[in-house]
Amino acid sequence: MRFAVTYRVVAADLVEARARANDIAVEQTVEIPREIVPGGYVEDEILGRVEAVEPVKDAFSVTVSYANADVGGDFLQLLNVVFGNSSIKTGMRVVSVDLNDELTGLFPGPRFGRSGLRAMLGVPKGPLLMSAIKPVGLSTAELARTAHRFALGGMDMIKDDHGLVDQASAPFKERVAACVDAVHKANAKTGGKSIFIPNITGTAKGFFERALFAKTAGAGAVMVAPALQGHAAVQELAADPEFGLPIVSHPAFSGANVIAPANGFSHRFYFGQLQRLMGVDAVVYPNFGGRFGFSIGECQDIIKGCTDDFGPYAPILPTPGGGMSIESAPGMAEIYGEDVIYLIGGALLREWDDLEGACRRLANAVGRTG
Amino acid sequence: MRFAVTYRVVAADLVEARARANDIAVEQTVEIPREIVPGGYVEDEILGRVEAVEPVKDAFSVTVSYANADVGGDFLQLLNVVFGNSSIKTGMRVVSVDLNDELTGLFPGPRFGRSGLRAMLGVPKGPLLMSAIKPVGLSTAELARTAHRFALGGMDMIKDDHGLVDQASAPFKERVAACVDAVHKANAKTGGKSIFIPNITGTAKGFFERALFAKTAGAGAVMVAPALQGHAAVQELAADPEFGLPIVSHPAFSGANVIAPANGFSHRFYFGQLQRLMGVDAVVYPNFGGRFGFSIGECQDIIKGCTDDFGPYAPILPTPGGGMSIESAPGMAEIYGEDVIYLIGGALLREWDDLEGACRRLANAVGRTG
């Protein structure tokens, strides 16, 4: 069976675009000059096949198909076939992938997805709310107190800042235990179902140990930065039946993958399709209008990647964050609708004297009822 | 103790550059609005500190220092502090890092480096030669035969194509065993010290198993693509005393990290400093003048990153490849001098009828004697 990848390719004209398309087909598979590709299996199956070359705005859309046999069941080799060496060529960008049942059967995707997260949080409709405990350098007690107050204010998901790892000021195990407890105590008061979401990082081996510790300690989900930890590690954690919690993905260290429009990956692929392929349930990314430079169009591209039909994979929740405020929240509803997690950190922490009230004002501002 | 990161920052003027520098200092550490950063430890230690803002060509050079305490001994948190969220902002690029003894003490760096590799290969001076067995889709026997012939021709290092994983056509264990055997048999004939270098990939856990299998099977080194496998996995493998082989790094999937000049990482940092920090001994990257777009200046920047003084880390070997030919080899000597590994794959495979002779012509062309 074959699967297809669509690229955006910069070229002066159709002739050059076709040449670059053939180049991708060779580079991503056999990586030897075309004229010495062995006939038979290698040429007929392994060699990439150019399926389409069409002009699009300021560039060309190129679709190349590849054999499942080249992937060999290896998640990283799938990524390598999609965009290994070609990532280093100028003016080539991955737009989207179209997989097949045999491949998607190997990588189970989101365990919870949008509907699973809503069920866990007891919020069947309306936007979900997330905040973050921070900054690094506070003690475990201070961070746990913040988590407690966010939960009292009705935030559905309270996550670690992505810079919280195992610093001496708030060691991982101590922090997770204290924050889970703080959120549970708030739930007991409010009747809510807020969850605590620790940031999981560490060595290749330690990563899994921390994730399992978080589960045992009562965390509701975990957060991982795939560009730091590695995309296979996230895929493996999501697929691990012993783990079985939702995964929130953080964009730290990933900026270069999307930021140059002619290279890297489309927002739709990187923050949408790839996340679902890994098994992520909610993907954090910088919202438009905040302190990062994503446009409304790029954010809509992410929504598409999170929710479009994509094999057997459930839709997941876009989680825009970064510089949001209570004031800017209503405008976001027009873009995101109901199926979104609003991540607001700094803007709530500014209201420390009445943090719980600020959380409720945020809920009102985004039209969250109940 | 503190360490420093130098960024290239795009700004209209010094005032904007200073504002963006302050922004980095906040974003990479506390990630809350500056005015609510808690006084005391968080403000005095954890918060990034702008050390310098100076105009450079078309941009500004910004140096920010960070506390070791923020890193918490975690390799990925070090990368996250260097360029986590700021990677998603436009016009910011990591130029270089300046670490301190406490940090470099945590990450032991290259086990072999340039001199260790030379000693292992028995080549005290002159350029080293590397080739690759490929394409994916050939049988184990065909790949092993190619490895044998490269070794007969005197190539010092014979590596897997980076697309060779565990495909049915040449399963990992079978391939490694056969290729190691083929290279050893050639060494027995020639008296040479050629080594076979398998490509190591797989799940987060399987990666280490394969690396250890490769060692037991007699591989001379392993190749890993850090942008695929994850930078911590490579660091952990290099530091593992049970492993203890040299590591060759491959650039697959990493292109976006360097290709847009205003974002991501300098070539010096990404293909130099970062590799040494991970413990890589030789770094493959696309040579100038080949089918990729790196300039001579960018390649010289990589040499600098591989060989400049950098804490306790040994110099490592730049390994330019991608579209090299026997004809272009002499021009490369002017840029690289002696301390280089020339990686030539496709251009040698074109000469299949006299592959051994082509290897010898290459050796002559680059001035390799003995």
Task: Give ipTM to 2 decimals.
Answer: 0.96
Q: Reply yes or no on whether the pLDDT at A348 is more than 70.
A: yes
Q: What is the pLDDT of residue A193?
A: 98
Interchain contact, B87 vs A292, CB within 8 Å:
no
d(CA B166, CA A105): 18
Q: For residues A9 and A59, is the Cβ–Cβ distance under 8 A?
A: yes
* Residue B87 CB partners (closer than 8 Å, separation 6+): A252, A253, A254, A255, A256, A259, B263, B264
DSSP B313: P
Q: DSSP character for A199?
A: B
**Mutation for testing the B interface, residue in A85, A250, A291, A350 having most B CBs under 10 Å:** A85
What mean pLDDT comes out for the span A174-185?
A: 98
Task: Give the C-alpha separation, A232 to B200, whole Å.
Answer: 13
Give the pLDDT of residue A370: 57
What is the rounded radius of gyration, in angstroms, for the C-alpha atoms of chain A?
Answer: 22
Q: How many CB atoms lie within 10 A of CB A100?
A: 14
CB pairs under 8 A between A and B: 300
Helix (H, G, I), strand (E, B), or coil: what is residue B221? coil
With tokens 């997260």, the residue in question is: A117
Q: Which residues of B touch A134 (CB under 8 A)?
A: 30-32
End-to-end, the C-alpha distance of chain A in Å comes to 48
pLDDT for A332 equals 85
Distance (Å, rounded) from C-alpha A227 to C-alpha A238?
Answer: 16
pLDDT at B198: 98
- Closest residue in chain A to residue B263, using alpha carbons only: A256
Report how far residue A284's alpha carbon sits from residue B244's, in angstroms, rounded to the nearest whole number.
38
CA distance B284 to B328: 18
- Of B285, B115, B134, nearest to A38 by C-alpha is B134
Statement: the pTM of the whole predicted model exceeds 0.95: yes
Interchain proximity A30–B136, CB inside 8 Å:
yes
Residue B324 pLDDT exceeds 80: no
d(CA A200, CA A206): 9
Is the confidence at residue B297, as pLDDT, over 60?
yes
Residues B330-342: tens digit of each pLDDT? 788 889 999 999 9
Residue A105 has pLDDT above 90, yes or no: yes
Kindly report which listed range (A16-25, A323-332, A356-365) carries the lowest average pLDDT score.
Answer: A323-332
Please indicate whether, in this complex, the C-beta atoms of B90 and A166 are within 8 angstroms of each other.
no
Average pLDDT, chain A: 96
Look at B73 and A166 and tell me if their CB atoms are within 8 Å. yes
The label of the residue with tokens 């030669």 reads B129
Interface test with A, best of B80, B107, B140 (most A CBs within 10 A): B80
Q: Do B255 and A232 touch (CB under 8 A)?
A: no
- Using CA coordinates, name the residue in chain A closest to B255: A88
Cα distance from A271 to chain B (closest Cα, Å)? 13
The two tokens of residue A320 are 């825009």
Q: How far is CA B159 from CA A247, A298, A359, B156, B343, in A?
A: 36, 40, 57, 10, 10
Encode pLDDT of A198-224 as tens digits.
Answer: 999 988 889 999 999 999 999 999 999
Residues in chain B: 370
The alpha carbon of residue B211 is apart from the nearest alpha carbon of chain A, in Å, by 14
Nearest to B32 among A33, A85, A346 (CB): A346
Q: Mind giving me the DSSP string for A330-345?
A: HHHHHHH-SS-EEE--
Nearest CA of chain A to the CA of B119: how many Å? Answer: 30
Closest in B81, B259, B346 to A90, CB measured: B259
Nearest CA in chain B to A285: B88
**Cβ within 8 Å, pair A228-B84:** yes
In angstroms, the CA B130 to CA B120 distance is 14
Average pLDDT over residues B39-43: 97
Distance CA(B264)–CA(B134), nearest Å, equals 31
Tell me, what's the pLDDT at B368?
A: 84
Q: What is the mean pLDDT of residues A112-128?
A: 97
- With 0-12 / 13-18 / 19 or more C-beta atoms within 10 angstroms meaning exposed / middle / buried, residue B80 is buried
- How far apart CA B367 and CA B361 sit, in angstroms, is 10
pLDDT in tens, A295-304: 999 999 999 9
Give the pLDDT confidence score for residue A140 in this predicted structure: 98
Residue A65 has pLDDT above 60, yes or no: yes
pLDDT given at position B328: 82
Q: Which residues of A touch B44 (CB under 8 A)?
A: none
Q: Which two tokens stand for residue A61?
A: 């859309």
pLDDT bin (cut points 50, 70, 90) of residue B370 is low
The Cα B264–Cα B79 span in angstroms is 12
Give the sheet arrangement for strand A222-224, strand by strand. A222-224, A247-249, A282-286, A317-321
Q: Give the full edge-to-edge strand order of the sheet including B195-197.
A: B195-197, B157-160, B128-133, B341-343
Are the Cβ atoms of A228 and B79 closer than 8 angstroms?
Answer: yes
Residue of A nearest to B36 (CA): A350
pLDDT-derived band at B164, boundaries 50, 70, 90? very high
Does the distance separating the beta carbons of A74 and B166 come in below 8 Å?
yes
Q: Which residue from A33, A87, A345 is facing B256, i.e. has the nearest CB? A: A87
Name the residue among A1, A77, A41, A11 with its Cα closest to residue A262: A11
Per-chain mean pLDDT for chain B:
96
